[in-house]
Structure 1
Amino acid sequence: MADMLNTATLNQLFLHARSHNQWQAREVSDELLRQLYQTLRQGPTSNNCCPARFVFVRSAEAKQKLLPALKGHNGEKMLQAPVTVIVAWDSQFFEHLPQLFPIYDAGAAFRNDPQATFVAGLRNSSLQGAYLILAARALGLDCGPMSGFDAEQVDATFFPDGRWRSNFLCCLGYGNEAGLRPAGPRLSFEQTCQVI
C-alpha cells in the first residue's frame, strides 16, 4: 500500500486548489499537454473503456470557433486562458475494447444498446475529466472547469460527424490569483455521508 500523500501535495491537489477565472499570459507547451495526457490516462474506468477524448483549444482561430457556444462570462475566461480543453466522449468507444480490455468481449454490452453506451460514456468520461483536473494540478497547472456552454453547438462545430460528444470544458494555464473569489462552503460529512 502506498504511503499517504504529504500535506503540501494534498493542498496542491485538493485543499488549497481553486477554480480559476483569470489567467496569466504564460504559454502551456505541447510537451506539457502530452505529459498531462500521459498522466491522466492511467486513471481507472469501467472495463478500461477510456471513452474520453480531449480537444485542446489553443489557437486564436479555434477559440473564435468555440466562443459562440459559451454562456455569460465563460467566453472571456476561455479567450484569456492559454488552453481550454473540450472534454468529450466517443460514442463508439466500445470499438477499442478489444485493445483495451481483451479478457472477453466487453463491447457486446454496448453495440446494440444506446442507453448503456450513453451511461458508460458519460460516466467514465466524467471520471477521466476529473483525472485531467488532478493531473493538471499535479503538473503545476491551474484549472477552470466550466459547464456553461451549449453542448449541441460545440458538437456541431467541432464534432460534425456526431461520433464525439462534449461533456464539459476546462480552462488550463497559470491562474491569476487576483481574480479568485473567496472559497465557497462545502457540506459536512454528516450532511453527505453514511457509514452503514
Structure 2
Amino acid sequence: MTTNETLVLDTAAQDLLFREARTANTFTDEPVTDEQIQAIYDLVKYAPTAFNQQPLRVVLVRSAESRARLVEQMADGNKAKTGTAPLVAILAADNEFHEELPTQLPHFPQAKDMFFSEREVREGSALFNGALQVGYFILGVRAAGLAAGPMTGFDAAGINKEFFGDGEHSVLAVVNIGKPGDDAWFPRSPRLAYDEVVTTV
C-alpha cells in the first residue's frame, strides 16, 4: 500500500491541496467573486483553534484606491504582482477577538476571563491562532480551484495604519488570489524527508 492509499482523502484532492499546489506569482485576468470567497470562508471557519477562538479578519482589497495604498506598503519584489492580481486579501488578527467568544466555554470556563484580563496572553493567542487560520484560508483557496500567493514581505506597521486604524488588529499576511497565469511558479524547493522530521520516543 502506498502512502497515498493510506489517507482517506482521495489522490486528486491530496494533489489539489498539497502536492500540486504552489504559491502563484502571476495570475490570469479572471475575476474572483465575493461568492467564491464566502464559500472559502464558510468551509475553513470550521477548522480547529484553541478554545474555538476566531481572531482572523479578512479585508478584500477591490478598489483601485485601496489597491494603490496597499501596494505602497509591499516590499519591492511584491509590488507588481500585488498590483495586478485579480483579488488581494489582507489577513489580520483581531487582538480583541475575545469579545466574540461565548460567555461560557463549556470545557474551559476560565478562558474568557483570562483573555479579558491578560492583554499579552490575548495578543499572543490571537497571533498564533490567527496564523493557523491563515493556513486554513490558503487551503480553502486551493479547494476552490484557485491559486494563492501568500506574502509576508510588507511594512506591517504601514498596513496596520492604512487598513486597521483602531490599533486593535495586526496584519499577518497578504494573499493574492486568482487563477494562475503564465510562468506562475518558481521551482519547487526541496522538502525534508519523514526521517528528518519525525522521531518516536
TM-score by length of 2: 0.91
1:102 is displaced (CA, Å) by 3.7
> Which residue number in structure 2 is paired with residue 165 of structure 1?
170
Change beyond 3 A, Cα 1:177–1:11? farther
Is 2:13 the counterpart of 1:16?
Answer: no
Structure 2 CA distance, aligned partners of 1:97 and 1:82?
34
Q: CA deviation at 1:187?
A: 1.3
Is 1:49 equivalent to 2:53 in the alignment?
yes
Find the aligned partners of 1:92 and 1:163 in 2 and give their Cα distance. Answer: 7
Which stretches in structure 1 are left out of the alignment for 5+ residues? none
Written as runs of structure 1 = structure 2, the 5 A alignment for 1:92-111 is 92-98=96-102, 102-103=105-106, 104-111=109-116
Q: Structure 1 residue 52: deviation in Å?
A: 0.6
Report SS of the residue matched to 1:98: coil
Q: Which residue pairs with 1:141 in the alignment?
A: 146
Q: How much has 1:53 moved relative to structure 2?
A: 0.5
Aligned residues: 193
Post-superposition offset of 1:114: 2.0
- Report the Cα offset of residue 106 of structure 1: 2.1
- Structure 1 distance, partners of 2:183, 2:162, is 33
Q: 1:65 maps to which residue?
A: 69
Rounded Cα–Cα distance in structure 2 between residues aligned with 1:155 and 1:114: 18
Equivalent runs, 1:97-136 vs 2, <5 Å: 97-98=101-102, 102-103=105-106, 104-136=109-141
SS at match of 2:76: coil
Q: Which runs of 5+ in 2 are unaligned?
A: 1-6
CA contact (8 A) 1:98 1:105 kept: no
- For 2:42, give the aligned amino acid: Q
1:150 to 155, 174, 189: 155
Under a length normalisation based on structure 1, what TM-score does the superposition of the two structures give?
Answer: 0.93
RMSD between superposed Cα atoms in Å? 1.4
